[in-house]
Chain A
Amino acid sequence: MTQPATKAVIRAEAERLFAAFQAAGAMPVEADVLLPAEVMLDLYGEDIRARAYVTQDPLRGEMMLRPDFTVPVVQAHMADGADPARYCYMGEVFRKQEHLGNRASAYLQVGFEVFDRAAPEAADAEVFALFAGLVSGLGLRAVTGDIGILMAAVRGLETTERRRAALLRHVWRPKRFRALLDRFAGRAAVSAGRVALLERLATGAADDLIAAAGAFIGLRAPEDIAARAQALIEDAQASPIKAPEAALLYDLLGLQAPAAAALGHLRGITPMLPAIAPAVDRFAARLEALKARGVAVDTLAFEASLGRTSMEYYDGFVFSFHANGMPAVATGGRYDALTARLGAGRSIPAVGGIIRPHLVAALKGAI
């Protein structure tokens, strides 16, 4: 339980950040605390249940205590927002903690979101520079990344469409992604289970095998099963991703360097991985825009794999600000695809982030 005096200090810090976001041209918006769970569950999957408080409403079904503002703000914008638009918000978010400890399960978040079609890289730089300014003097370590480069590299792989889709689907799950890549690149042996499965599938037509497997039950139709059986057989015959191409992707996954040096490295591998050229151009444009705002890109940390977590919505620029021994003080990124998923057919490039005022207050020694 947070003491009232401590709460007042945190709120004052939040108000300061909120005012700064408004001064930067953002319109303050409110969001419901109690949200329909369905949209969030559909978006984030089962992982959100481990993190959010889900409760049963006798009339409205499953409801969720607001785990973040991004989704309600995007929904509100897609429903009747101006174009372009800048929003800011301040309020409590609720996160279930699955481990004992002192991590807060209800805390204030202050955020800033930009919806702008004109110049995405300029908007990325605007958001980053604004956040960097607001947390300057706290001794934080800034890290940036760009999931868009990794996604572009996967889309350009010389392999089957199915394999590209499987890798893209797991971009946010590094372990699974790695296992798939190892298998598609021929670096990992095919599992014994898969070998046995393929042998069995080779013994007859899928329909006969399904019929022989006993009573048919469930919603997954025989056609679905047969189609995947066929896909498995085809995949077993596909040739592995060529070693040099795979090596470039492994290199990209592990790329960590100051941003300017990372750009040089990416320029160097682009001739061998031409599909990443547009994404690397965007990265270059972003660095220019950051430089123009006074960010030292020669020392700014860049990690190609930053932002690959199960809260899967960032699909371009990502950033976070860290101090030792606490969760990220501020995080953000670009989520163009999310606006398409929530926009019922419409979409708009969007970038934003949040600051956790209780951590800022703690770093200032105010609480």
Chain B
Amino acid sequence: MLKIGVPSKGRLMEKTFEWFGARGVAMRQTGAEREYSGAVEGIEDVELVMLSAGEIPRELAAGRIHLGVTGSDLVRDKLADWDVQVAELSPLGFGHADLIIAVPSCWIDVETVDDLDAAAAAFRATHGFRLRIATKYHRLVREFLTAQGVADYQLVDSQGATEGTVKNLTAEAIADITSSGETLRANHLKILSDSVILQSQAVLFASRSADWAQARAVLDSLAAKLRLTLPQI
């Protein structure tokens, strides 16, 4: 039996079902509309596990599922040395989003990460604490800012409505994913021109730590159906 974890609701789930469906592997929810159970048709011995997209990286790393569909942003943020723990089988062509840093549009003196660093220094001197950047992507943002040599900032956790934190005075800037930038503009924020931390999309991942003894043959036939070239797992 091969276990595949897919997002349990919303557009990500629908798009995932569409992607597999177009390749002859029909996935569907079973039971009541809001019940998190699913079934796979068109291939034998595949079990569908409905999970929150945010938990799929952890489940892959633990080897509790063999395959999983989730955003590349989540895998890179949640897993240390992600490519040692999971393998990318295929980008799925949806769920595109950029992880970026945004600051208030009224900051006419800030256009780049370099400006943010200088503004952070002045902010700390004036306000007595480090400039706050709200995000849920702690590892990715911290690694990016460390690599860029930015100082005098702190990350504050924001699990939702991150764009509102600046107006609510709980942060000075944000780091979040955006696709069209509309929510940012509506909240009077602008993107720093050189702050694309990651270009993310939905990806089919394989766990490197799952027990593949029984599942390998299923993976091979699934890969043939999906026309995937398998990397070393």
Contacts and interface: CB of A to CB of B under 8 A. Distances in A.
Contact of A214 (B143, B146, B150, B188): B188
A105 B108 CA distance: 44
Contacts of A169: 121, 151
Contacts of A173: 149, 151
Given A41-B154, A224-B122, A310-B146, A229 B109 contact: yes
Nearest to B169: A219
Given A220-B119, A220-B172, A45 B154 contact: yes
B149 A213 contact: no
Contacts of B47: none
A289 interface: no
Contacts of B206: none
Contact of B112 (A47, A176, A193, A200): A193
Contact of A218 (B104, B111, B112, B117): B104
A224 B126 CA distance: 8
Contacts of B166: 217-218
Contacts of B194: 193
B228 interface: no
Contact of B115 (A176, A197, A213, A222): A197
Interface string B142-171: 110111111111110000000000110100
B80 interface: yes
Interface string B78-120: 0011001100000000000000000011111111101101110
A166 interface: yes
A49 B106 contact: no
Nearest to B119: A228
B109 A175 contact: no
Of A97, A220, A229, most buried by chain B (CB within 10 Å of CB) is: A220
Contacts of B153: 45-46
B106 A210 contact: yes
B227 interface: no
A219 B145 contact: no
Interface string A191-233: 1011011001100001001100111111111101101110010
Of B109, B193, B194, most buried by chain A (CB within 10 Å of CB) is: B109
B15 interface: no
B111 A193 contact: yes
Interface in A221-266: 221-222, 224-225, 227-229, 232
Contacts of B145: 46
Given A169-B121, A170-B151, A218-B166, A206 B108 contact: yes
Contacts of B117: 176
Interface string A45-70: 11101100000000000000000000
B123 interface: yes
A98 interface: yes
A6 B53 CA distance: 42
B58 interface: no
Interface residues of B, number: 49
Contacts of A218: 104, 106-107, 166-167, 169, 172
Contact of B80 (A46, A100, A225, A232): A100
A179 interface: yes
B58 to A, nearest CB: 15
A225 B106 contact: yes
B34 interface: no
Contact of A228 (B81, B112, B122, B188): B122
A46 B123 contact: no
A228 B106 contact: no
B109 A217 contact: no
A161 interface: no
Nearest to A174: B149
A108 B143 CA distance: 27
B108 A200 contact: yes
A346 interface: no
Contacts of B148: 176
B109 A201 contact: yes
Nearest to A165: B121
B111 A197 contact: yes
A80 interface: no
B112 A210 contact: no
Interface in B161-189: 166-167, 169, 172, 187-188
Nearest to A47: B146
A232 B85 CA distance: 45
21 contacts: A41-B130, A46-B130, A46-B146, A47-B142, A49-B155, A97-B80, A99-B80, A166-B118, A179-B149, A201-B109, A206-B108, A210-B108, A214-B106, A218-B166, A218-B172, A219-B169, A219-B172, A220-B104, A222-B106, A224-B126, A225-B106
Interface of A: 41-42, 45-47, 49-50, 97-100, 166, 169-170, 173, 175-177, 179, 191, 193-194, 196-197, 200-201, 206, 209-210, 213-222, 224-225, 227-229, 232, 310
Given A46-B145, A98-B139, 12 more contacts: A41-B130, A46-B153, A46-B155, A50-B142, A169-B151, A176-B149, A193-B111, A194-B112, A201-B108, A213-B108, A222-B106, A228-B110
Closest 8 CB pairs of A and B: A176-B149, A173-B149, A228-B109, A229-B109, A197-B111, A213-B106, A218-B104, A209-B108
